[in-house]
Amino acid sequence: DTGVSQDPRHKITKRGQNVTFRCDPISEHNRLYWYRQTLGQGPEFLTYFQNEAQLEKSRLLSDRFSAERPKGSFSTLEIQRTEQGDSAMYLCASSPRGAGEQETQYFGPGTRLLVL
Amino acid sequence: AQSVTQLGSHVSVSEGALVLLRCNYSSSVPPYLFWYVQYPNQGLQLLLKYTTGATLVKGINGFEAEFKKSETSFHLTKPSAHMSDAAEYFCAVSVLTGTASKLTFGTGTRLQVTL
């Protein structure tokens, strides 16, 4: 169990550019979550995958955001035409099969995005 | 809708003193409650969680929390603070919607430990 990994750890981009982040969950975890954490706030739910299916998206996830999990393993989160308000820490979490609402979500170290 | 309120964005204690971080929740259904810790430039690590059963929950690093339904609280305590406890602490409630178990977090409490 190597834990959840995220890449890159830091990203600086200019407004209007596209960025893509990657998350590798704990192996055999079929559930994968993306959260966003802005300065001084707790993480906020963005989207959720069960295997390769994206089952829920928050209203925070505007049409500039897209997430995929093509083979039910790693996931990518892309932000198109970045805005300064997108500056935040993007956290990925995974949890094992069939855990339900009692499940523990295991978080990665996050990708910190700064949009200039 | 579920929500979490953490009273006190910053708490400072002396090394060896009692740590008390407050969390109140709002939930229309029996809640599942979590405390996570975040060290600088790192992700969140689970400290402990309450699901069902015993209301006093023990976690890692000597932390514990007590679920009090009548007070809608889930305060985090540690008898004796250590310098290594300095971090940000988040209380969260789990919401099951469809098949997703979303965590709703409080705004966090930054714990400072002084000599």
Give the residues across from B3 on adjacent strands.
B26
Q: How far apart are CA B72 and CA A14, in angstroms?
A: 44
B92 in A contact zone (CB under 8 Å): yes
For residue A94, give the chain B residue with the closest CA: B101
Contact between residue A4 and residue A33 where contact means Cβ atoms under 8 Å apart:
no
Q: What is the mean pLDDT of chain A?
A: 92
From A5's Cα to the closest Cα of chain B, the distance in A is 10
Contact between residue A106 and residue A32 where contact means Cβ atoms under 8 Å apart:
no
Report CA dihedral (B18, B23, A88, A25) to the nearest 10 degrees.
90
What mean pLDDT is predicted for residues A32-50?
A: 93
A44 in B contact zone (CB under 8 Å): yes
Contact between residue B103 and residue A42 where contact means Cβ atoms under 8 Å apart:
no
User: Which residues are within 8 A (CB) of B80 and not within 5 positions of it... i.e. 6 or more apart?
Assistant: B16, B17, B18, B62
Q: Could you tell me the two tokens for A93?
A: 């979490």
From A116's Cα to the closest Cα of chain B, the distance in A is 20
What is residue A108's predicted lDDT score, i.e. its pLDDT? Answer: 95
CB-CB neighbors (< 8 A) of B28 in chain A = none
What is residue A101's predicted lDDT score, i.e. its pLDDT? Answer: 55
Pairing state of beta strands B10-14 and B109-114?
parallel
Q: Could you tell me the two tokens for A17?
A: 């550019």
pLDDT digits (tens, 9 = 90+) for A55-100: 888 988 889 999 999 988 999 999 999 999 999 999 999 998 765 5
Contact B46 A104 (CB under 8 A): yes
What mean pLDDT is predicted for residues A36-53?
A: 92
Give chain B's end-to-end CA distance (angstroms, integer). Answer: 41
pLDDT digits (tens, 9 = 90+) for B94-112: 877 666 778 999 999 999 9
Contact between residue B64 and residue B80 where contact means Cβ atoms under 8 Å apart:
no
What is residue A98's predicted lDDT score, i.e. its pLDDT? Answer: 65
SS3 B75: strand
Residue spans of chain B under pLDDT 50: none
> Residue B83: what are its φ and ψ, rounded to 5°?
-55, -35
CB-CB neighbors (< 8 A) of B42 in chain A = 109-110
From B17's Cα to the closest Cα of chain A, the distance in A is 25
> Residue A101: what are its φ and ψ, rounded to 5°?
-75, -10
What is residue B40's predicted lDDT score, i.e. its pLDDT? Answer: 86
